[in-house]
Structure 1
Amino acid sequence: MRWSDGPTDASIFWLNGEAGIGKSTIARTVARMWADEKRLGASFCFVRGWGDMAHASKFFTTLAYQLACVHPNIATGVYKTLCDYPDVPRQSLREQWKYLILEPLSRLDGVSHPQSLILVIDALDECDDENDIALILLLLSQAGTLKSVRLQVFITSRPEAQIRYGFDNIPKACFTVFELDTITSLSRLVEKADGLA
């Protein structure tokens, strides 16, 4: 994926499309590819009706845990945070993002960590609280402010109103959009044209 390799101000890549079009398959595929390249920081898949996977209360704590498991220097930062603020996992999403993700990543020394880390967030539209969706997008848009590491976020979802609203409230330069439906529509047109030829 060119977005993850080339220099860009867009720290978020939003892949959207209707249900059943293959977004989750793509998310799993690119996550595996980035894991093989040692660039995957963490991943999370929202699943409506599945307890902790349906709401955001464990979202940032799960990402922080995975980041800590993959990178020892991040683990040190998360451990320090939990020692200093032991109740942070029960705090607001803003506090969790700030203390468990942003601060540990900002303390990296620039030498002994990867140049680039990617978070894969699948099915964001399945988060059961619309307010949490907007807040998650707002917080993730801060990924580009980090100087110590290039943090990128790959998000999949259906193009539902609450997701569009969330993206409308963050700077346009922070994200790029790819509509998977346009590819399937194009391929149907090509098939139809081939049938007419």
Structure 2
Amino acid sequence: MLRLDGDRPARLQTQGTGNVVRIEGDRPVQFQNSTFHNVAGNMNVSHTTNVGESGLDILLRAVSLDAMHDSAERPADPACHPGTRSAILEELDKWSFEQPSDSPILWLHGCAGIGKSAIAQQFAASCHDRGQLGGSFFFKRGSVSRGTWRNLLPTLAYQLTVAFPQLGPRIQRAVETDRLVLGKTIHHQLEKLLVQPFRNAPPLASRPILVIDGLDECEDRGTQTALIRALIDVLRSGDAPLHILVCSRSEPHLLELFQAPDNSEVCRGLEIRPDDAADSDIGRYLTEEFSQIRLIHTSRGTMLEDDWPGENSIQNMVYKSSGTFIYASTILRYIDDEYSHPAERLEAVLRLDPASLTPLDDLYTQVLSSIPNKPTLLRVLHAVVETRRLDPEEIDLVLRMRRGTSHAILRGLHALVRVHPVRTIRYHIPVELLHASFGDFLMDSQRSLSFCISGEDLLDTLVHDMAHVLLSGSLGPDDLW
């Protein structure tokens, strides 16, 4: 219920977003993001943009800042360790300079954890330094701003206006002539934001490069397919002189699309495979990172031999990595724990079954086994994976646990999840899984066994807890979903 001047009640029927500050008689009043009409006490909102708002202002509201490669809104995905992945990065650099390109879309693909995001991060940074980067977008499964395609094209278009000023006025004008463009289809947004601005544009210093990482983490398969088909159609027409790097897992539906004979004139695939070069890179990465761990921990008074962890231990971990960086990076985060002796943690890792066909799952299980109070651990992880919206304080509230419980539980999982410091002001930063494969592991009972969180009992309990917190008014629906 909204009360107008003189405490006169009125119904507010919202069909958009906006902020009501005051009401003047029965005439329409313009507020930020909305136009409200007061007619006989009934309020109706009819617009979602201001008449005087610029196209860039409209775009800016839809930008996902934390999806950019250089955003300070999120801890950046690590770039490639110095001296590693040189062959792949050289291949990407070569493709980026092709003018014109026979393959304007390059699909970089491979299995989970092989280092696609690190390569994309490194390549985007290099393109930015050379003045080639038009924009970047790093998808993240379940994220409000990075988990769907809705913010993708506005984010890329806004970055293009900054990187290539010749396109800025044209992109701005395209939005101003169609102020509802951001609510329309993929094809319509592509035409308005990435095709129309190039028509009759002055020559650019270089062909803009767009980097789209984690396509397989974008909502559902249908959306992924529709997005790539739309990009193929645009680049096949030649109306948008762009290079687009797309990175994802080698999912069957994407293999079928990218490798279709009809798309070969536009798309080229580059698969990252576990090989001797990857093993060499992982060995170098482990050796240099363990050197840093040894240096830091000995400075704290921890006794470690000068040659720790030893060449045999390094080779053991390289072998178990099977060409994927995720195993190596998870080991390093697990061992580099300020409250544990790194030698003891390394010994625990080396004791894992050397003949196992699932070394990453074994490592996940080892990390989880080190956390006491297993029932609470499973409840907390279930809330993290199912909602993907809650920070530790909110998890405590929803699960009706003593404040600080989630922080205490998750502190021991720093190898697998990212938890931001305790907030001193109301600033919502959800708990993040460091890699999507950990969420897959937790939901698959054949992989996670007693650590599986996909059971009905946990779900029923979480739904009951959510209903309780909603009825209490402590959190709203937007906080939970």
Q: Please give the range of the TM-score, normalised by the shorter of the 2 chains.
A: 0.7 to 0.9
Of 117, 120, 123, which residue of structure 2 is paired with 1:24? 117
Q: In structure 2, what is the equivalent of residue 185 of structure 1? A: 275
Contact 1:54/1:128, CA 8 A, preserved across alignment = yes
Q: In structure 1, what is the equivalent of residue 217 of structure 2? A: 126
Q: TM-score, normalised by structure 2?
A: 0.37
Q: 1:53 to 1:189 in 2, by over 3 A?
A: closer
Q: In structure 1, what is the equivalent of residue 169 of structure 2? A: 76
2 CA distance for matches of 1:106 and 1:115? 16
Q: TM-score, normalised by structure 1?
A: 0.86
1:172 aligned partner, one-letter code? S
Q: 1:83 to 1:6 in 2, by over 3 A?
A: closer
**Which runs of structure 2 are paired with 1:34-183 in the superposition (5 Å)?**
34-110=127-203, 113-141=204-232, 142-146=234-238, 150-168=241-259, 171-181=263-273
Contact 1:134/1:165, CA 8 A, preserved across alignment = no
Per the alignment, in what secondary structure is the counterpart of residue 41 of structure 1? strand
Q: Which runs of 5+ in 1 are unaligned?
A: 193-197
Per the alignment, in what secondary structure is the counterpart of residue 53 of structure 1? coil
**Which runs of structure 2 are paired with 1:1-16 in the superposition (5 Å)?**
1-7=93-99, 8-16=101-109
Task: Determine which structure has more spread, i.e. the larger CA radius of gyration.
Answer: 2
1:12 aligned partner, one-letter code? I
1 CA distance for matches of 2:193 and 2:205? 18
Q: In structure 2, what is the equivalent of residue 195 of structure 1? A: none
1 CA distance for matches of 2:211 and 2:270? 15
Q: Deviations over 1:90-148 (max 9, x none)?
A: 111111111011111233122xx22311000001111112122112111222225336x
Q: 1:79 to 1:129 in 2, by over 3 A?
A: same
Contact 2:104/2:242, CA 8 A, preserved across alignment = yes
Percent identity reads 28
- How far has the Cα of 1:77 moved from its partner? 0.8
Q: Which runs of 5+ in 2 are unaligned?
A: 1-92, 284-314, 316-481
- How far has the Cα of 1:72 moved from its partner? 1.7
Q: 1:44 to 1:115 in 2, by over 3 A?
A: same
Name the structure with the higher helix share. Answer: 1
Task: Give the count of matched residue pairs.
Answer: 187
Contact 2:221/2:253, CA 8 A, preserved across alignment = yes
- How far has the Cα of 1:150 moved from its partner? 3.4
Contact 2:107/2:258, CA 8 A, preserved across alignment = no
Q: 1:189 to 1:89 in 2, by over 3 A?
A: closer
2 CA distance for matches of 1:128 and 1:64? 21
**RMSD of Structure 2 on Structure 1 (CA):** 2.2
- How far has the Cα of 1:6 moved from its partner? 2.8
Contact 2:258/2:268, CA 8 A, preserved across alignment = no
2 CA distance for matches of 1:58 and 1:165? 26
